[in-house]
């Protein structure tokens, strides 16, 4: 495996490897007939660039642009723009009028595409996931079912295409050549146009020790400062950052500076995200979480307690494999997604069931691997005396059984 030695953003050789989660299986649930097959494993090793501050995967990416990972959450984007600090907070777009043109790339929620079209705004959607492309085409959205690459770029340039807004989705996180990719895109953007980017909330991940959100699929993890450093090299300003309902970020950039320095930048500076020591301390905290969780669960099993887990998605799969929790400790995993039920977590080969299995088997503990534990506190499992184990930011056992049950696990 070829290991990256220079920063993918600025080209600096000042890369600090700070976190290695080991060689882990690609997080795809396994069917019964695949249990005897050898799984592909790739390392998750992260580095921090001391010059431009970008966190990045140091190894190969397992990203497949033709497959959808996770579920798309509609953003309910307004169709009016954000053009300065005097604009109302809900007014984030860029002065779009009927007839304006938006170029949308990679896994954009269908609801948002339709909303733009209904506002009389022109949409060109380039989608590499065949299923999503078909859905968009069936709803009358002009869609090209292809991977956006140099050939796509040159075709649009020959057509004289110019966009008022380019909405990148998560494409920038996966681009192997960041600078060429961004340079090509901006050649399609009008002089007063805006880039809209979707980003993971790295600051929140680091603050909550959510190491299980990193994966082999994503090459780049931008702090606000790292993103601004990249954009400035291409003549753009980062003008706004907004938190989405799913806690990810929406970033807005243009060639003109419309905003005062962003609060995100000040907060990152205060927390120390520009300091290599911050990332080294994060790695030490991750090691402590791993040891503490393994000791806690092993001791519970030694006392004869039964443990199940909640959440078989990528964060759950990574947690189970990184900590080394097999069926001898976690008997089964429940998950709300029917596509995962009846299958197995890769690596550890733990079976995945529908939420109803939890009340049938009645384990004493439920290890929460996905989402917030708050809805589970009001579940029937807890009402019957079950306890929750929350692994992050540090393992703890919750016993909220005194609350009145209001919903079933999985609703």
pLDDT tens for 254-268 read 999 877 778 889 999
Structure confidence at residue 411 (pLDDT): 33
148 pLDDT above the threshold of 80: yes
pLDDT of residue 33: 66
- Percent of the chain past pLDDT 90, that is, above it, reads 64
Distance from the first to the final alpha carbon of the chain = 43
pLDDT one-digit tens code per residue, 74-127: 554 544 444 444 443 333 444 577 889 999 998 888 998 998 898 899 999 999
Task: Please calculate the CA angle 111-81-160 and round it to the nearest 5 degrees.
Answer: 80
Using H for helix, E for strand and C for coil, what is the string for 194-215? EEEEEECCHHHHHHCCCHHHCC
DSSP E strand boundaries for 109-153: 122-127, 143-145
Residue 339 has pLDDT above 60, yes or no: yes
Q: Measured on CA atoms in the order 170, 77, 411, 376, is the torsion positive or negative?
A: positive
Looking at residue 4, its pLDDT comes to: 85
What pLDDT, on the 0 to 100 scale, is given for residue 350?
Answer: 96
Reported residue count of the chain is 411
pTM of the model: 0.87
Q: Are 122 and 100 in contact (CB under 8 A)?
A: yes
Provide the pLDDT for residue 406. Answer: 36
pLDDT score at 75:
52
Determine the angle formed by the axes of helices 314-323 and 276-302, rounding to 10 degrees. 80
Write the DSSP string, 53-105.
--EEESS-----TTS--S--------SSB--STTS-TT--B----TT-EEEEE
Residue 351 phi/psi, 5° resolution?
-70, 150
**Domains in the chain, CATH or no CATH each:** 101-260 (3.40.50.150), 293-398 (3.40.50.720)
């Amino acid at each position: 495996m070829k290991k990256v030695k220079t920063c993918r953003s600025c080209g600096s050789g000042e890369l600090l490897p700070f976190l290695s989660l080991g060689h882990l299986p690609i997080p795809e649930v396994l069917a019964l007939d695949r249990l005897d097959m050898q799984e592909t494993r790739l390392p998750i090793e992260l580095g921090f660039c001391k010059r431009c501050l970008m966190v990045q995967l140091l190894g190969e990416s397992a990203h497949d642009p033709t497959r959808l990972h996770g579920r798309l959450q509609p953003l309910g984007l307004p169709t009016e723009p954000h053009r300065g600090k005097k604009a109302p907070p809900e007014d984030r777009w860029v002065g779009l009028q009927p007839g304006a043109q938006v170029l949308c790339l990679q896994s954009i929620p269908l609801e948002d595409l339709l909303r733009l079209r209904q506002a009389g705004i022109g949409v060109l959607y380039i989608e590499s996931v065949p299923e999503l492309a078909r859905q968009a085409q069936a709803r009358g959205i002009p869609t090209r079912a292809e991977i956006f690459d140099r050939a796509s770029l040159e075709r649009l340039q020959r057509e004289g295409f110019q966009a008022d807004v380019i909405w990148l989705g998560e494409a920038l996180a996966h681009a192997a050549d960041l600078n060429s990719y961004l340079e090509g895109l901006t050649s399609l953007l009008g002089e007063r146009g805006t880039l809209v980017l979707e980003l993971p909330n790295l600051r929140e991940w680091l603050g909550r020790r959510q190491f299980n959100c990193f994966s082999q699929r994503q090459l780049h993890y931008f702090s606000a400062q790292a993103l601004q450093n990249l954009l400035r090299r291409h003549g753009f300003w980062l003008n706004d950052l907004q938190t989405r309902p799913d806690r990810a970020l929406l970033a807005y950039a243009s060639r003109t500076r419309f905003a005062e320095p962003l609060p995100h930048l000040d907060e990152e500076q205060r927390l120390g995200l520009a300091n290599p020591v911050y990332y080294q301390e994060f790695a030490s905290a991750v090691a402590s979480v791993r040891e503490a969780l393994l000791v806690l669960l092993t001791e519970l099993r030694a006392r004869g307690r039964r443990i199940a887990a909640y959440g078989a998605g990528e964060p759950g799969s990574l947690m189970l494999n990184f900590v080394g929790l097999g069926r001898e400790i976690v008997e089964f995993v429940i998950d709300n997604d029917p596509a995962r039920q009846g299958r197995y977590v890769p690596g550890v080969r733990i079976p995945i069931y529908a939420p109803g299995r939890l009340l049938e088997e009645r384990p004493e503990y439920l290890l929460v691997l996905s989402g917030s534990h708050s809805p589970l506190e009001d579940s029937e499992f807890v009402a019957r005396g079950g306890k929750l184990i929350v692994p992050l930011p540090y393992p703890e056992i919750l016993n909220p059984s005194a609350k009145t049950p209001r919903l079933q696990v999985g609703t």
